[in-house]
Amino acid sequence: MKLHQTMLCMQSLLIMIAGVYEIDLDTGEVRTLTRQNEQVFSMAYDHKKRYVYVPRYSTGDIVRFPYPNNHTVMLGTIVSTIYPVGIAFDSVNSHLYWTEISPGRIMRCNPDGSDVTILLNENKPTALTLDIQNRWIYYAQQLSPSEIFRTNFDGMDKRVIIKNLTTYVLGIGVDVDVERLYWMEYYTGDLQSAWDNGSDVKTIISTNVTIENWDIDMDEDFIFYTSYNQIIKINKFLGQIPTVVHTDTQRIYGVLLYKQDGKNTSIRNTI
């Protein structure tokens, strides 16, 4: 059986055409899912109800659409928010978690946007990821220096995991099986990993692209990362050669890897 692999990413240029695009990872074929004149730095997926969640930074809301689908989709606004950046879905309790960079909060709501809860206040929180098994939230900041934090699903028991980063972080992920945290450093393009307690920091690769190293997503073996106008795939193990999955004329922001049994497919998202 072949794996069905799809990738969602946000790609942008300062022009009016915008949207979420799908890239077939086998064929490289690109399909438009939505058009939206927006900056979107991350996306989340609900595997049970099959929705993609999209935080729209300047519009200040979170929209969703059904995926997979065969058509250009209609966006449904589920919640109004302020400058949302990072987003993740908790499939255990069916909750959506996100960051508001300003005034600076970690938030939660139901998949339909109801029951909006403020978990905690934070200085410029950005990327956010969930360890669903051990019930931890990890999140980063748009500060220099910045820190990576861990808190529980109620916003309590907060601690600093990674101290004194000299860069913003807009891409973060955790692999529970190997107990490791992964993040992309916005300015340096250093794709880093550490134990989920913050020790043993290692550089997987340096993109050597200064600024505009955005989001990451991953499966058991590979990390996909967006660096300026490219999506690149690299094995998580150190010392592997990266593969360029897609190069565009516009910058690419958020990326979401979608996999299911069937055939390999990929998705991307552009402004």
Ligand X SMILES: *[C@@H]1O[C@H](CO)[C@@H](O)[C@H](O)[C@H]1NC(C)=O
By CB under 6 A, name the binding residues for ligand X: 2-3, 5, 25-26, 68-70, 145, 164, 166, 179, 195, 197, 199, 205-208, 264
In angstroms, give the least distance from the CB of 222 to ligand X.
Answer: 9
Residue 28, φ and ψ in degrees, nearest 5: 80, 0
Nearer to ligand X, 3 or 201 (CB): 3
Nearer to ligand X, 34 or 99 (CB): 34
Nearer to ligand X, 114 or 199 (CB): 199
In angstroms, give the least distance from the CB of 16 to ligand X.
Answer: 29
Asked whether the beta carbons of 8 and 258 are under 8 A apart, the reply is yes
In angstroms, give the least distance from the CB of 76 to ligand X.
Answer: 17
> Around Cβ 20, how many Cβ atoms within 10 Å?
32
In angstroms, give the least distance from the CB of 175 to ligand X.
Answer: 13
What residue type is 161 in one-letter code?
I
In angstroms, give the least distance from the CB of 236 to ligand X.
Answer: 15
Nearer to ligand X, 86 or 189 (CB): 189
Evaluate the CA torsion angle 166, 157, 44, 177 in order and state its sign: positive
Question: Strands 3-12, 269-270: parallel, antiparallel or unpaired by DSSP?
Answer: parallel
Nearer to ligand X, 68 or 111 (CB): 68
Residue holding tokens 């029951």? 115
CA-wise closest residue to 226 among 8, 33, 14: 8
Contacts for 171 with CB less than 8 Å, ≥ 6 apart: 42, 127, 183, 184, 213, 214, 215, 216, 225, 226
Give the whole-angstrom CA distance, residue 171 versus residue 225.
Answer: 8
Question: Strands 95-100, 105-109: parallel, antiparallel or unpaired by DSSP?
Answer: antiparallel
Nearer to ligand X, 39 or 207 (CB): 207
Paired residues of 258 in beta bridges: 6
In angstroms, give the least distance from the CB of 136 to ligand X.
Answer: 13
